[in-house]
Chain A
């Protein structure tokens, strides 16, 4: 049996510039940090089983790989030429999907890591990230970017630069635990209770790419300044940049925000948050704020009232820490023979 895990991430600024339509014309950039919430994959080699068993929110038991409904499981197994029969594969997660924390790509990365271990093939972080990108973007034609696959594979705080030739530069950002602790102390993360549909949001964004090109450029360039503010521990400056970034992002497509999100966001700012954003593609998911710790209680109360008035029963505060670890094998009962 093999158990792997891949972290979720909070993307600070630059999200959206990691799609091909943009970075082929101008370098895209994203700065993000992984957090201590994970997607787990378990692969068990059950040699006497003549079917393939795949467990996620559903359970599929199939004779032939091509019958598998779940695209990522199916295509990952096909690409690695793993026949499937005699395998049990399952996925688990600390948080639900569609929260804007990059979980769908974390899932792909964790799965590919586990399948490589099953094949007795060690894989490096970059190859793993690229493999997940190929699986999701080229094979499954998902309208997504490359930031989440890289964030999950590498772990920690990084600036990713997506070059016009398709290569990706990974620059780890070094901050000591004191700055990280300060940032954690000031951070607030909430699941709005609105599960978003990324595809619609990203589809609309792609259509408007040429019209909004300048805005995308500003988003990409702002990553460099955000990095400096993070390295200097300038929390207020970072918060203000999150706010500006969010304002830019909402202007890209109508589906990125909605009145419920806007109201929640405005209430936190009115209660003293320095700045924040909706995480992920938009349309729902998680809200992230940087706010002075002494205002957290007031912000929390305001958000709870707004969420309850809007009937958002899934609304929840999420406790988290930033993390350094990327995608890892937690357990392998038949370790590498190399």
Chain B
């Protein structure tokens, strides 16, 4: 048993250590710019990645401002797509599963916004459809992928690829979660700083 545990944790640790710092920095800059222009952040993916998208929305909309919730006149506006199960089933049933993200995205998307797409294979057709829509509108795309990155990594502006052997979903998703929390930590620290500085300037 010990061997199995060691092997998994080691695999995750190595993958996490090799996370592309430059691309993560790029993603932070994209999010910073979206905050400055009061744009929105759309997050989506399939299965476990959709669960992470929901978690990320909660972290961005609330957790990063937690220490001074009432004192941030502008907060992130993160939205998980689709926003309801009803929309998901309606698009899937009436139009096709490949439109469950691109369809709802079209309702919201403005040029000031950005997109975070999560797909371990980087190949999910519904994720790619949504990315193509964002690209056509010149909306920046942060792509979290694994394996060989697929088309998502090709199209994304910030290419956060966790290279693994094909099918290593557990490793890729584990690292994606850790990186999501890196973003949460960074922006929580940043907004704490902003709050402290604004207090200082006010006195």
B186 touches A176 (CB 8 A): yes
Q: Which of B33, B112, B137 has a CB less than 8 Å from the CB of A330?
A: B112
B112 touches A329 (CB 8 A): yes
Interface residues of A in 279-338 (CB under 8 A from B): 323-326, 328-330, 332, 335-336, 338
Say what secondary structure dominates the interface of chain A: loop
Q: Which of A117, A155, A178 has a CB less than 8 Å from the CB of B33?
A: A155
Closest CB in chain A relative to B115 CB, distance in Å: 15
B36 touches A122 (CB 8 A): no
Q: Is residue A95 contacting chain B, with contact meaning CB distance below 8 A?
A: no
Q: Which of A123, A125, A172, A329 has a CB less than 8 Å from the CB of B26?
A: A172
Number of interface residues of A (CB under 8 A): 25
Q: Is residue B10 contacting chain A, with contact meaning CB distance below 8 A?
A: no
Say what secondary structure dominates the interface of chain B: helix
Contacts of A335 in B (CB 8 A): 110
Q: Is residue A170 contacting chain B, with contact meaning CB distance below 8 A?
A: no
Nearest-CB residue, chain B, relative to A124: B138
B112 touches A174 (CB 8 A): no
Interface residues of B in 178-203 (CB under 8 A from A): 186, 189-190, 193, 197
Q: Is residue B1 contacting chain A, with contact meaning CB distance below 8 A?
A: no
Closest CB in chain A relative to B131 CB, distance in Å: 15
Q: Is residue A221 contacting chain B, with contact meaning CB distance below 8 A?
A: no
Instruction: Give Cα distance in the complex from A125 to B111, angstroms.
Output: 12
Q: Is residue B37 contacting chain A, with contact meaning CB distance below 8 A?
A: yes
B111 touches A122 (CB 8 A): yes
Closest CB in chain A relative to B189 CB, distance in Å: 7
Interface residues of B in 30-62 (CB under 8 A from A): 32-34, 36-37, 39
Nearest-CB residue, chain B, relative to A184: B197
Q: Is residue B22 contacting chain A, with contact meaning CB distance below 8 A?
A: yes
B138 touches A326 (CB 8 A): no
| Interface 1/0 per residue, A122-138 and B, CB below 8 Å | 11110000000000000
B193 touches A181 (CB 8 A): yes
Contacts of A328 in B (CB 8 A): 37, 39, 111-112
Q: Which of A125, A177, A329, A336 has a CB less than 8 Å from the CB of B193?
A: A177
Q: Is residue A60 contacting chain B, with contact meaning CB distance below 8 A?
A: no
A156 touches B33 (CB 8 A): yes
A325 touches B110 (CB 8 A): no
Closest CB in chain A relative to B162 CB, distance in Å: 20
Q: Is residue B25 contacting chain A, with contact meaning CB distance below 8 A?
A: yes
A325 touches B37 (CB 8 A): yes
B26 touches A332 (CB 8 A): no
Q: Is residue A240 contacting chain B, with contact meaning CB distance below 8 A?
A: no
Closest CB in chain B relative to A31 CB, distance in Å: 16
Contacts of B32 in A (CB 8 A): 324-325
B136 touches A122 (CB 8 A): yes
A338 touches B112 (CB 8 A): no
Q: Is residue A21 contacting chain B, with contact meaning CB distance below 8 A?
A: no
Interface centre among B39, B136, B138, B190 (most CB of A within 10 A): B138
Q: How large is the interface on B (under 10, 10 to 19, 20 to 34, 35 or more residues)?
A: 20 to 34
B37 touches A330 (CB 8 A): yes
Instruction: Give Cα distance in the complex from A122 to B113, angstroms.
Output: 14
Contacts of A324 in B (CB 8 A): 29, 32-33, 36
Q: A174-B22, A174-B29, A176-B186 are in contact. Are A336 and B137 (CB under 8 A)?
A: yes
Q: Is residue A36 contacting chain B, with contact meaning CB distance below 8 A?
A: yes
Contacts of A176 in B (CB 8 A): 28, 186
Nearest-CB residue, chain A, relative to B32: A324
Contacts of B33 in A (CB 8 A): 155-156, 324-326
Nearest-CB residue, chain A, relative to B25: A174
Closest CB in chain A relative to B136 CB, distance in Å: 6
Contacts of B190 in A (CB 8 A): 177
Contacts of A172 in B (CB 8 A): 26, 29
Interface centre among A155, A325, A326, A335 (most CB of B within 10 A): A325
Contacts of B189 in A (CB 8 A): 177
Instruction: Give Cα distance in the complex from A174 to B25, angstroms.
Output: 6
Instruction: Give Cα distance in the complex from A158 to B186, angstroms.
Output: 21
Contacts of B39 in A (CB 8 A): 328
Q: Which of A123, A124, A156, A336 has a CB less than 8 Å from the CB of B29?
A: A156
Interface residues of A in 25-82 (CB under 8 A from B): 36
Interface residues of A (CB under 8 A from B): 36, 117, 122-125, 155-156, 172, 174, 176-178, 181, 323-326, 328-330, 332, 335-336, 338
> Known contacts A172-B26, A177-B189, A332-B111; can you find 19 more A-B pairs with CB under 8 A?
A36-B36, A117-B111, A123-B138, A124-B138, A174-B25, A174-B29, A177-B186, A178-B193, A181-B193, A181-B197, A323-B36, A324-B32, A324-B36, A326-B33, A329-B112, A332-B110, A336-B111, A338-B136, A338-B137
A-B contact pairs, 23 of them (CB 8 A): A117-B111, A122-B111, A122-B136, A122-B137, A123-B138, A124-B138, A125-B138, A156-B33, A174-B26, A177-B189, A178-B193, A181-B193, A181-B197, A324-B33, A324-B36, A325-B36, A325-B37, A326-B33, A328-B39, A328-B111, A329-B110, A330-B37, A336-B137
